[in-house]
Structure 1
Amino acid sequence: MTDTPTEPAVQFRDDVTVELIKHSASDSDVLWAARVSTAGEQSLEEITKDPERSTGLINFLMRDRHGSPFEHNSMTFFVSAPIFVFREFMRHRVGWSYNEESGRYRELQPVFYIPGEDRKLVQQGRPGKYEFVHGTPEQHKTVAEAMEASYRQSYEAYREMLEAGVAREVARATLPVGLFSSMYATCNARSLMHFLSLRTQDERARTPSFPQREIAMVAERMEAEWAALMPLTYAAYNANGRVAP
């Protein structure tokens, strides 16, 4: 007699996960890449020199938008977030590589997104001139209850199909975009700066951006990791209006 597989417990989250799992990124990477244009093979000396002595060069490159020296580095992040975040994220194609978990090859786990109480719920104003404001306790209650009920129903339908022998790639069609997925995302500093310029809100930005809160949560965590790796480049980015070079 074989045991019947137990259905995994449904979980609800209001946060995201971002982990820097691998990197080759430092301010000196910008310097040797930039100096090869004038110093040739002597630019290799910059690899072992203190980048603090060349803060002015990094700022010049950022200010005048000489972007290619900022591409000679790499950061790989593990991200766990709702599927709708990934669909926005993957619009960033230049300088990014992605590998996401597949609903064709594994059974998807019942982890779903429900906005936290600090998530603004109500959109006011017309397109292009709108803002989000905090919802009432009643609105938050409505959102949480409606999402939870919908998630449970959709996952129950998914499991029902799997248990009937239906292929995972077919059964997954019932699952909503609030389901959590996971991926590896690899980028360089230049592509990350472009991502941050569009997916964060910051008073230092020359051009305002109005990202959806959930992708901004991912971007803010990536920004914190990058700032620690390349502090001079990060400072120059902010000093020059958070515009990708």
Structure 2
Amino acid sequence: MSLTPDQQAEIETLRSTSVPTLRAVSEGMEAHLYKAYPVLDHGFVRVIDYMGDDAAICQAARVSYGKGTKSVQNDEGLIRYLMRHWHSTPFEMCEIKLHVKLPVFVARQWIRHRTANVNEYSARYSILDREFYIPQPEQLAAQSVINNQGRGEPLSAEASARVLEILKGDAARCYDHYEEMIGKEGEPDNLARELARMNLPANIYTQWYWKVDLHNLLHFLRLRADAHAQYEIRVYADEICKVVADWVPAAYSAFEDYRMGGATLSSKALDVVKRMLKGEDVTQESSGMSKGEWREFRTLLD
């Protein structure tokens, strides 16, 4: 993990200073505030600020649903009810602001979640550091033969070594040319930073502040902490999961049960389950599903 001296000094100052507050506080989240948790070779995630806790979710639900929640005996039961029935607004009452350092190609995948507020380090104004994501050999794999956007079998040791040599060499060469084009401040014929950056590879690291409400954060985690997500974004999601579990434990527990550990069935899949429970031997041909749907359905059951 690469924190600059200024960032490390800021963290130490912030963690050594406390102020009284009247707002709701999550003790679990307080333990995470400002700490930087390493991800990949140079990346990290740290919590800058947050708003709300499990109680804030319940408070919002009781305002909006009124007497409809009287039958729910406790806050945890209410939260599980809300999660189970896909109510979203109460979870939007909690927010988190993260500082994330990540490779550019991961950031481009991450930014597809357009429900957050983002401010990214600008390479128009500043010079990016010479830091590149270089995968561990065990993360190098061939293209999957059944999934066009996934990995298949691991590369051989010889092939892995060749790929790593290419990645390291290309990254160093591109950054050398980047520095050469920028030159030294005040020199004639220096290329503008906003143009020089186009030569940098997608595995260079960038940083941003990312602020999102809990509802949309859980949607992000459901997709990116999934076993099928790309490894390089999944490790960030896994680290964020640990923080969220301490921040809103009741909400996260319900999320694990109904989203991460649950499944949504199509009407055809539900019909097949009913037929199977009655003892019928259902095949792909008699299910009414395509081969792809059937394969995914069997994976759920197996």
Larger Rg: 2
Shift of 1:39: 4.3
CA distance in 2, matches of 1:169, 1:38: 51
Correspondent of 2:176 among 156, 171, 178: 156
Instruction: Single out whichever of 56-65 and 19-28 deviates more from structure 2.
Output: 19-28
State the alpha-carbon separation in 1 of the partners of residues 41 and 139 from structure 2.
9
1:189 pairs with 211, 214, 229, which one?
214
Q: 2:57 aligns with which of 17, 30, 36?
A: 30
CA distance, structure 1, for counterparts of residue 149 and residue 111 of structure 2 = 26
Q: How does 1:77-226 map to 2 (within 5 A)?
A: 77-94=98-115, 96-127=116-147, 131-163=151-183, 164-202=189-227, 210-226=228-244
Specify every segment of 5 or more residues in structure 1 that has no aligned partner in the other structure, as ranges. Answer: 1-12, 44-51, 203-209
Q: 1:180 is matched by which residue type in structure 2?
A: Y
Contact kept? 1:117, 1:140, Cα under 8 Å: yes
Does the 8 Å contact 2:124/2:194 carry over to 1? yes
Rounded to whole Å, the distance in 2 between the matches of 1:211 and 1:129 is: 10
TM-score by length of 2: 0.66
Which structure carries more relative contact order (alpha carbon 8 Å, separation 6+)?
A: 1
Kept in 2, the 8 Å contact 1:76–1:187? The answer is: yes
Distance 1:18 1:138, change over 3 A: same
Q: TM-score, normalised by structure 1?
A: 0.81
Closer/same/farther in 2, CA of residues 181 and 116 from structure 1, 3 Å limit: same
Distance (Å, rounded) in 1 between the aligned partners of 2:159 and 2:169: 15
8 Å CA contact 2:123, 2:197 repeated in 1: yes
8 Å contact kept, 1:14–1:116:
no
Name the SS of the counterpart of 1:186 in structure 2: strand
1:82 touches 1:178 (CA, 8 Å); kept in 2? yes
**Residue number among 56, 81, 85 corresponding to 2:77 in the alignment:** 56
DSSP-derived class of the 1:22 partner: strand
SS state at 1:98 partner: strand
- Give the CA RMSD over aligned residues: 2.1
Superposition pairs of residues 36-75 of structure 1, within 5 angstroms = 36-39=63-66, 53-75=74-96
Supply the distance in 1 between the matched residues of 2:231 and 2:81 (Cα, whole angstroms).
32
Deviations 1:188-238 (A, max 9, x none): 111011101111225xxxxxxx22111111111111111110000000011
User: What is the identity, as a one-letter code, of the residue corresponding to 1:173?
Assistant: M
**1:170 CA drift (Å):** 0.9
Residues matched between the structures, number: 213
| Whole-angstrom distance in 1 between the partners of 2:128 and 2:42 | 19
Deviation of the 1:144 alpha carbon:
1.3
Residues 37-79 of structure 1: CA deviation (Å, up to 9, x unaligned): 2449xx9xxxxxxxx9321110000000111000001101111
Structure 2 unmatched ranges of 5 or more: 1-39, 184-188, 263-302
Could you give the per-residue CA deviations for residues 119-138 of structure 1, whole angstroms, max 9, x where no partner exists?
14222313369653322222
Q: 1:145 to 1:131 in 2, by over 3 A?
A: closer
